[in-house]
Structure 1
């Protein structure tokens, strides 16, 4: 489907035609987000088994004639402070996802923002040279007032630096554009360099 996407520049606003998916598959987006979050998990959680807790292994009381149940060492899982049964151990949570699925998910996420009128392309961030107040002045002129969360994808590091301290803005370099961050913010703002990088990813490898 062809979308008409607004392009903002210091000389005014124009529109750019872009071919993006017409249908959005929520389950496919869920698959990509699940894959992303699994890849980010550190997997460092670790509990001690009964063989690793620092207790004596002596028998805590005689086997018979106490009127109580039979027990061995105090590090058994049944006791408070004892070892853990089937607890977490360090592991890798990441798994592979087909490149076609990853590319389709990214295209659908961007298409969803374009369909909602929440995608804005920027030709130049006039007057933004690394300071937050400069970005706030530009954002006000672009109709971004902080009422919606914004994902800002910009090639210029000065633009990202100017916006990164704002609580309603998430900043990314073009190569970092991903489905999870698109879906967790309400508006998507990209410069033309980021847009071209996005188009190249769709045409090449994810």
Structure 2
């Protein structure tokens, strides 16, 4: 699959051949659903438990007469009806982590990349180097590229000026190639890869 390579100023900077085994797969909604569900579930924080009656360290001594006191015949101070007692039917400790086979995760990422390529929402640029960290300047360049919502993926690292310039832009995010994931790719209208990102992604799957 041959794709034109652009500059950030929407100029042409040659072309690049994309691996069909990574960018040319058939869409699989079931695979994408499984991977996104796995990602979102693993983002959830661990649910903490409240202290039950057995977790409270209070006296169990009976503090009144069995009869004649005019009150209920209470015993353990850790009972839920007392201040400082345990919680009745409170939340239990729970982890929401899920496991997913590595092959399914890899297939999900390939499928997400292929979906963007098939929809014409995949753009390859030469690099993300900016001379200065100016949001206004970046907005002008994004306007030339026709990008309002985009995920930019670079190679080993991300240009510091570009990262700062897009920090305040809504639905414009940047990641290194190692952080590429299905949820973020699908959550943006356009996927923008640099030459270095393409090399890293292809090496990631071929390695």
How does the TM-score come out when normalised to structure 1? 0.76
Post-superposition shift, 1:71? 6.8
Single out whichever of 43-52 and 69-78 deviates more from structure 2.
Answer: 69-78
Once the two structures are superposed, what CA deviation does each residue of 1:2-46 show, in whole Å capped at 9, x if it has no partner? Answer: 4x5442125426554431343222121122122222333331523
The yes-or-no answer on 1:106 pairing with 2:106 is no
User: Could you tell me whether the CA contact under 8 Å between 2:123 and 2:193 is conserved in 1?
Assistant: yes
Post-superposition shift, 1:156? 3.1
User: 27, 40, 43: which one pairs with 1:40?
Assistant: 43
Matches within 5 A, 1:184-195: 184-195=187-198
The yes-or-no answer on 1:85 pairing with 2:85 is no
User: Could you tell me whether the CA contact under 8 Å between 1:49 and 1:83 is conserved in 2?
Assistant: yes
Post-superposition shift, 1:121? 1.0
Matches within 5 A, 1:1-206: 2=1, 4-9=2-7, 11-12=11-12, 16-18=16-18, 19=20, 20-52=23-55, 73=76, 75-76=78-79, 82-85=86-89, 87-89=91-93, 91-125=94-128, 127-144=130-147, 146=148, 149-154=149-154, 155-158=157-160, 159-204=162-207
| 5+ residue gaps, structure 1 | none
Are the structure 2 counterparts of residues 161 and 83 from structure 1 closer, same or farther at C-alpha, using a change threshold of 3 Å?
Answer: same
Are the structure 2 counterparts of residues 133 and 55 from structure 1 closer, same or farther at C-alpha, using a change threshold of 3 Å?
Answer: farther
Name which one, 1 or 2, has greater alpha-carbon Rg: 2
Tell me, what secondary structure is at the counterpart of 1:190? Answer: strand
In the alignment, the residues of structure 1 paired with residue 33 and residue 134 of structure 2 have an alpha-carbon distance, to the nearest angstrom, of 36
How does the TM-score come out when normalised to structure 2? 0.75
In the alignment, the residues of structure 2 paired with residue 64 and residue 23 of structure 1 have an alpha-carbon distance, to the nearest angstrom, of 78
Post-superposition shift, 1:181? 0.8
In the alignment, the residues of structure 2 paired with residue 103 and residue 160 of structure 1 have an alpha-carbon distance, to the nearest angstrom, of 27
State the number of aligned residues: 198
